[in-house]
Structure 1
Amino acid sequence: MAYWLVKTEPSECGIDDFAKTPEGVIPWDGVRNYQARNFLAKMQEGDYVFIYHSSCKHIGIAGVVRVVKSAYPDPTQFDPESPYHDPKSTPEKSRWQAVDMQFERKLPRLIPLDQLKAMPELCDLPLVRKGSRLSVMPVSNREWHHILGQAD
């Protein structure tokens, strides 16, 4: 099992959307950064993922979801009506990946970015490094458990 963090704008898809979706499953699609895509491709069923709210009033880790379907071709890349359409991608040569994730739990309180940055145990986490803008990133076992310990 591996651990991950994905950034999202809660106005598009936040932890509350997972909580209120029947069966709590949402496809994680629309990622259009090659390094983030490569991380999506490594996600496996059973992996746990922090949902990180960004570009909003309250920025930070808001909850936990679990990967329930590992990487498959992102259907939005083939849809000309989608803002994530990629005319260079074909069903035979897909460029982008999606995974399905399911709601696990909302954290008792949001863990804000400032608090995460202040934790020396997280100095290697890409999220707290200056200039890191990845929307999908790995989280080490040690980092995962340290962050969860701050949530309760």
Structure 2
Amino acid sequence: MAYWLFKTEPDAFSIDDLKNAPEQTSMWDGVRNYQARNFLRDDIKQGDLVMIYHSSCKQVGVAGIATVTREAYADPTQFDLNSDYYDAKATAGNPRWFVVDVQYQSHLKKLVSLQAIKANDAITDIALKKGGRLSIMPVTEHDWQQIIAMSEG
């Protein structure tokens, strides 16, 4: 099992939206960065745990936890002419973008802010501390446990 952080703007899709989705499960779509795409396509596996991170909002930080329930498959929005994520270069035989399905597990007891993460010297490897801007990034088990502990205390 691996650990991940998925960024989302809560005005577009939040931990509450995931909780209220049918079967508390949703396709994680719209990723249009090649490095983040590669994580989705090549590395993220069923059963991996995901921190849902709210960005571009008043309270920026880790808000909840999800589990990957379906591994990578072609992002259907890349083929939809009416989608903001349409990609004219993508074909069914050669998709460029991928999604995974995630299922809601829990809200954190309290949101763990970016400021708090950056201030915690025990968190050492997460790209957020180094100015990482990817929408999907790996999290070490150590940093995962530190963030979870912060949410509880």
| TM-score, scaled relative to structure 2 | 0.96
Q: Distance in 2 between matches of 1:54 and 1:11?
A: 10
**Paired residue for 1:125?**
126
Please report the RMSD computed on the Cα atoms of aligned residues, expressed in angstroms.
Answer: 0.8
- Aligned-partner Cα distance in 2 for 1:151–1:120: 16
User: Structure 1: how far apart are the matches of 2:150 and 2:26?
Assistant: 26
Aligned position for 1:43? 44
Once the two structures are superposed, residues 124-143 of structure 1 have per-residue CA deviations (whole angstroms, 9 ceiling, x without a partner) of 2111113x210000001111
Provide the rounded CA distance (Å) in 2 between the counterparts of 1:142 and 1:86: 38
- Give the C-alpha shift of residue 19 in structure 1: 1.1
Aligned residue runs from structure 1 range 3-152, under 5 A? 3-41=3-41, 42-130=43-131, 132-152=132-152
SS at match of 1:49: strand
Distance 2:125 2:46 in 1: 25
Aligned length: 151
Amino acid at match of 2:98: Q
Partner of 1:104, secondary structure, is: strand
Supply the distance in 2 between the matched residues of 1:133 and 1:12 (Cα, whole angstroms): 18
Aligned equivalents of 2:88, 2:114: Cα separation in 1 = 36
Q: Would the aligned equivalents of 2:124 and 2:143 in 1 still touch at CA under 8 Å?
A: no
Q: Which amino acid aligns with 2:3?
A: Y
Amino acid paired to 2:86: H
Q: Tell me, in whole angstroms, the C-alpha distance in 2 between the residues paired with 1:122 and 1:136.
A: 18
Gap regions ≥5 residues in structure 1: none
Q: How far has the Cα of 1:101 moved from its partner? A: 0.2
Distance in 2 (alpha carbons) for counterparts of 1:54 and 1:119: 19
Question: Are the equivalent residues in 2 in contact too, given 1:7–1:54 (CA < 8 A)?
Answer: yes
Distance 2:128 2:134 in 1: 8
**Distance in 1 (alpha carbons) for counterparts of 2:123 and 2:55:** 18
1:37-59 alpha-carbon deviations (Å, 9 max, x no partner): 01112111100000000000110
Letter of the 2:51 partner, please give it.
F
The alignment-based identity, stated in percent, is 49
Q: Distance in 1 between matches of 2:129 and 2:57?
A: 17
